[in-house]
Amino acid sequence: MRLMVEKVFAYILREKGEQKQLLAFAHKDFQDISLQVLGGALEV
């Protein structure tokens, strides 16, 4: 039997003046990891 897991991600933007900014996260304990956007599993 195969288990299907729903995955989601989000690009959250805001406008500040004429600029658009993307919400991203930097991991404080692992600074060598690149920026990440929100994402994860979805429980339905």
Q: Is residue 29 part of a domain?
A: yes
- Give the pLDDT of residue 44: 66
Q: Is residue 20 part of a domain?
A: yes
Taking only the tens place, the pLDDT of each residue in 1-44 is 777 778 888 888 999 999 999 888 888 888 888 888 777 776 66
Name the domain count of the chain: 1
Q: Is residue 26 part of a domain?
A: yes
Q: Is residue 23 part of a domain?
A: yes
Task: Pull the structure tokens for residue 3.
Answer: 């288990």
Q: Which residues contact 7 (CB under 8 A, 6 or more apart)?
A: 39, 40, 41, 42
Q: Which amino acid is at 19?
A: Q
The Cα–Cα gap between 30 and 42 comes to 25
Q: Is residue 22 part of a domain?
A: yes
- Give the pLDDT of residue 11: 86
The Cα–Cα gap between 1 and 35 comes to 35
Q: Is residue 44 part of a domain?
A: no
The Cα–Cα gap between 14 and 21 comes to 5
Domain of residue 25: give its range. Answer: 6-37
- Give the pLDDT of residue 23: 85
Q: Is residue 1 part of a domain?
A: no
pTM for this entry: 0.49
